[in-house]
Structure 1
Amino acid sequence: MEQLNHIIRNMPKIELHCHLEGAFTLDFLLSRIHKYEPESKIRDLETLRKQFVFRDFDHFIRSWIWKNRYFRTADDFRDSTYYAIEALVKQNIIALEAFFSPWDFEEWGPGPEAIIEATLEGKEAAEKDFGIPVNLIADIVRNHGHDTAKARLKQLYPYKNRIC
């Protein structure tokens, strides 16, 4: 079994369905928790890791919403994107298609345009530093209706040559 694990770890892989908002590294999230909530009970990676052992779907959703509040600045999105891609490269991912949802963070984040710009900055820096091609796919989300989808497409239009 160890030989098979070694082969799988070392084989080149292509990741075709990755959501950047879920691919953050725990080290990165812990640094944001310490930055934004210095008195948080989450002091180490082991405690944080337990937060992401989901008991059920409701716990998954609560944890998702909880972690979103630590993505507050453009730098947070840029850095999270960069570190997520770096972590994937360490798993021998040689090409990546990644979804991202700049509208999921409107309550805490800097706004969709700033998130788009920052995500592109992180992606492009990672491509340069790690030699991995990354295609970004904006998740327009079908359950918000066609008017919302059209408005989001308008926001994405200036980036049409940089986002799939």
Structure 2
Amino acid sequence: MASIPPVPRERLPALLRAMPKAELHLHIEGTLEPELIFALAQRNQVRLPYASVQALREAYAFTDLQSFLDIYYAGASVLLHEQDFYDMARAYLERAARDNVVHAEIFFDPQTHTQRGVAMQAVVNGLYRACRDAERELGISSALILSFLRHLSEEDAFATLQAALPLRERFIGVGLDSSELGNPPEKFERVFARCRELGLHVVAHAGEEGPPAYIRDALDRLGAERIDHGVQAIQDAALMQRLAREAVPLTVCPLSNLKLCVVGDLARHPLPQLLAQGLKVTVNSDDPAYFGGYVNDNFVQLFEATAMDAGQAWQLAVNSFEASFVTPAQRAPWMQQLRAVFERFARAA
């Protein structure tokens, strides 16, 4: 930490926006802005239960995870064709590039779409094509992670995996999302074992609304390499020690936690304490179209609320690179870019 160039506090918001970073907890369906929802609804002749963009935005008053999911799935109903998935992913990647995201690992929920009769190929190919075009044209690298919906059965997850296997080279891993309470990790133990046999990376949502035991079970029973959210670990000292000792990344989403009432105030968010205890914490946006902020908004608002400093910003950016599923050779230039940004801000003081 001593070798990090000093940056004055008044320069911190600009530094947070300018520094390169990876985003590792991002649901692509959660990037559907109301304007794009209405445009796709018109293109695909889908009727929405909202009269206008403003009426839809006003519905974004969530009391918990389930109240959000109800609107989330309604918004996804406008996605029918490969081009729709392309347009959605391309819009996110353009926004992420403006936030100086150099790498994104993107969740997608095929069951949300295949249950409506949308072909798996349309989902994956549209997203994958957007990722490749954005890398070539914008310089942002990205990868796809197929997420199983935990409120559905493990048998349905197996069927989804089977349907996706012909497209195996277009996604790097699997995850577990949707309603956490009442759907513990062990419900999907067999399908995750199969995914590990296939050489897929494994991550899982745990410890957002669910108890710390869900985090432990995601590690022990699913073989999770990263924990998505994980903020409830703060309640279990032994688990915190394990997460730090084993360097298990947590992909934390501050504005999501605030919007879904996981925390009542950003000033009391556990992320600074998790970081201080040596956990490999990262900052991400989750479902930014619904939660009022993309990744830079999460950084700036969290730092304003908690008085975190440039040293912590450096560590969070480094954590995001180290927690990503890329090679050391890919990380190296990002680290060089990170140091260059810090040095530039230190010189400008």
Coarse TM-score class (shorter-chain normalised): 0.7 to 0.9
Q: What is the CA–CA distance in structure 1 between the aligned matches of 2:35 and 2:71, rounded to whole Å?
A: 16
Question: Given the two structures, how large is their TM-score scaled by the length of structure 1?
Answer: 0.82
Counterpart residue number, 1:78: 86
Counterpart residue number, 1:41: 51
Q: What is the CA–CA distance in structure 1 between the aligned matches of 2:48 and 2:167, rounded to whole Å?
A: 36
Most deviating of 100-109 and 29-38: 29-38
Conserved? CA contact 2:21–2:103, under 8 Å: yes
Structure 1, gaps ≥5 residues long: none
Question: Is residue 130 of structure 1 aligned with residue 138 of structure 2?
Answer: yes
Counterpart residue number, 2:16: 8
Conserved? CA contact 1:97–1:137, under 8 Å: yes
Q: Per-residue displacement from partner, 1:23-63 (whole Å, max 9, x unpaired)?
A: 23443223224433499611x4x444323343444431221
Question: 1:161 is paired with a residue of what secondary structure?
Answer: helix
> Residues 144 and 120 from structure 1, CA distance in 2 versus in 1: closer, same or farther, beyond 3 angstroms?
same
Deviation at 1:142, TM superposition (A): 4.5
Q: Per-residue displacement from partner, 1:100-133 (whole Å, max 9, x unpaired)?
A: 1122123546222221121111221122211111
Counterpart residue number, 1:117: 125
Q: What is the CA–CA distance in structure 2 between the aligned matches of 1:18 and 1:123, rounded to whole Å?
A: 14
Question: Given the two structures, how large is their TM-score scaled by the length of structure 2?
Answer: 0.42
- Rg larger in structure: 2
Q: Per-residue displacement from partner, 1:68-110 (whole Å, max 9, x unpaired)?
A: 1111222111110111111111111011111111221235462
Identity %: 25
Question: 2:170 is paired with a residue of what secondary structure?
Answer: coil
- Specify which structure has the bigger relative contact order, considering alpha-carbon pairs within 8 angstroms and separated by 6 or more residues: 1
Structure 2, gaps ≥5 residues long: 1-8, 173-349
Most deviating of 51-60 and 126-135: 51-60
Q: What is the CA–CA distance in structure 2 between the aligned matches of 1:157 and 1:47, rounded to whole Å?
A: 40
Amino acid at match of 1:54: F
Q: What is the CA–CA distance in structure 1 between the aligned matches of 2:161 and 2:114, rounded to whole Å?
A: 17
Aligned length: 162
